[in-house]
Structure 1
Amino acid sequence: MEEPSLSRLVVDREPEWLRVKDNVSSAMYKVMETRLATMPGGKDGEAAKVMRKELESRLGKIQEKMFDMSKYNLQVNGQNYENYVEATEGFDESLDRHIWALQVERTDWESKTAEKRKRWPEMFYGVEEDLEMRRTDVEWLPDENDGKEENKLQPKDIPPPERHEEVKETFKVVVDNLAEVVKSAPIQLQRAQRAQTVREEISSLPP
């Protein structure tokens, strides 16, 4: 008794099947990145980098074998897909590699974009705060040089103090008196020395 043959999955156009393959590849790649993120150092650590190369190689082989097996269960545009693929094998292989490369590039771009979205708000806040502080300084803090030229008085503009002439005259008298004292000081010193000598001689006389 012959076993009943399994019906094939009917696909109207090949791009629809290629889109399914792309989605499967994307899902497998995301699962791989999720697992790598749990390794020491995260998904960008050295351990993850080494493991990523090995996993990408193995996933590529698994996908190739999986998609090769699936073509015997497909019917595309009324044709068995294994025959359809054989007629366009070179084109499909190139397209599949191109799709995979684009998927890797898109995933990397999404990862970098997500990282930037985390950092940029904090960076923008810091710049905004710095600009606000600078604006406040400009608005409220006067320049140190402001008004210096206007407030700087010339000597001729300063009025003399009260009793200026009287002070000048008194100072002149004091200076003259000091000059007389300096001039007469040697004479007064000699007189004092003589008086001291006479006092000592009188003290030494017998009673």
Structure 2
Amino acid sequence: MAEPTLSRIVIDQEPDWIRVKDNVSQAIVSVMETRLATMPGGKDGDAAKGMRKEVEARLGKIRERMFQMSSYNLQVNGQNYEDYVDATEGFDEVLDRKIWGLHHERVDWEARTAEKRKRMPDGIHRLEEDLEMRRTEAEWLPDDELLEDGKGTLKAEEIPAPPRHEEVKQTFQTVISNLAEVAKTAPTQLQRAQRAQTVRDEILDMAP
């Protein structure tokens, strides 16, 4: 004949069991402090201090073993407590918000990356065309009809000068002449400036 199944202690919510465990732990600590107080020197004496650490360690092991054995006699929220603990995990609201925030951030980055992948090739192509156009405009090349002489291309000395070529040459020569004049007069101007500075310093050093 099979042995009858023992009924478990029914607890509505897990916090009720946690509160019982806290009360038991406090009672154990209270009894320990009372017993240590009976030792020579009281609970703060040297004898009690020497025993406290070992007693706390032993009582901690006894307490954990007692709670572990008790869990097999409990039923929480209609489930055996050992099954309830395995099936129920604490909800971390902060972690949940962080996970959702990272999820939305990942979705946003994926959308931006996909959009850039669509636009980037076309943008690069337009940039290349613009750079090529700017490079071509910055160069002077004779017209195609000027390069054709019926037999082939013109020689370098036969290529006509670009527009305003003479004006550019004259402007460049004027700039060179001005720079040469500045180079000649610079030493004289420097000497004058040094003499003026010397006179200024002497005037400032004169007694009032």
Q: TM-score range by the shorter chain?
A: 0.3 to 0.5
Scaled by the length of structure 2, the TM-score of the pair is 0.42
Larger Rg: 1
Task: Write 1 or 2 for the structure with the bigger share of helix.
Answer: 1
Q: Which has the higher contact order (CA 8 A, sep 6+)?
A: 1
